[in-house]
Amino acid sequence: MNKKLKFLLVLISLFAFFQINAYAMHIMEGFLPPVWSISWGAVCVPLVIIGLYSIKRKISDNPKLKMLLAMAGAFVFVLSALKLPSVTGSCSHPTGVGLGSILFGPFAMSVIGVIVLLFQSLLLAHGGLTTLGANTFSMAIAGPFVAFAVYKIVKKLNGADWLAVFSAAALGDLFTYIVTAFQLSLAFPSPEGGFMFSLAKFLGIFAVTQIPLAISEGILTVLIFNALKENSRNELISLNILKGGAQ
């Protein structure tokens, strides 16, 4: 990992200076009924355990990947700390999970995501411990799995790195908020129209802020990925992201 990539880490951290203060953060502390808090947490546990083994195996095969893994975590932390107020009890923000999903796979991102969300809830009052399971499922599990699948599909069909990376990051971001809307609708169905009415309402409100954020995240992720191709080619080859030899 050379000096240029270390500079890239610093550049990512500078986005923290543009953090938007908001009182609605992820799904905020105490907002979900206990049954949903416990249920989403239980769903996440086995996937996070698998993620721990996935990270351990990759790092054992190539210890030099530690810096790249740390960069993926920093990318998630900084982007998901940029918040725009959205529906009651929640907010819109980039997620940053697309990059790590492409590099390390969706299971590894479940671990990175839960760590990021835990630090944000304890240090920044973003989200909360009671909603950690729900936030982990939407941002660190559902989003990464979609991002990983989209990257593989677009890469196979088109072959262009930039399109695959952009699509993965943008759609992974959007799917996180589809799942969040689904979670809120399950917990708080409309008295008049039930679950589907609430889902349509939440999705409609989220779309106003989330679609431009997803596009912006896709563009930024392409720029970061291109920088990694130039400065961390060996690491990307070891992760089977790039092929050896000339591009």
Q: What is the pLDDT of residues 181-206, one digit of tens each?
A: 899 899 989 888 889 988 888 888 77
pLDDT at position 154, please? 95
pLDDT at 91: 58
Count of Cβ atoms closer than 10 Å to residue 99 Cβ: 29
CA atoms within 13 A on the CB side of 106: 22
> In Å, how far are 1, 86, 91, 118, 220 from 94, measured between CA atoms?
26, 13, 10, 17, 11
Q: What is the pLDDT of residue 85?
A: 58
3 state DSSP class of 220: helix
Q: Which tens digits make up the pLDDT trace of 124-165?
A: 767 778 889 999 999 999 999 999 999 999 999 977 899 999
Of 105, 192, 170, 165, residue with least CA distance to 141: 105
Q: Is the pLDDT of residue 246 over 50?
A: no
pLDDT tens for residues 200-223? 888 887 777 788 889 999 999 999
What percentage of the chain carries pLDDT values higher than 70?
Answer: 83
Ordered by where they begin, the domains of the chain are: 25-238 (1.10.1760.20)
d(C-alpha 240, C-alpha 75), whole Å = 21
The pLDDT, as a whole number, for residue 191 is 86
pLDDT tens digits for 45-92?
999 999 999 999 999 989 989 999 999 999 998 887 776 655 554 556
Tell me what pLDDT residue 119 has. Answer: 86
Helix (H), strand (E) at residue 43: helix 34-61
Residue, of 237 and 244, whose pLDDT is higher: 237
Task: State the pLDDT at residue 17.
Answer: 40
pLDDT of residue 20: 37
Confidence of residue 1 (pLDDT cuts 50, 70, 90): very low
Distance CA 87, CA 233 (A): 42
The predicted pLDDT at position 81 comes to: 76
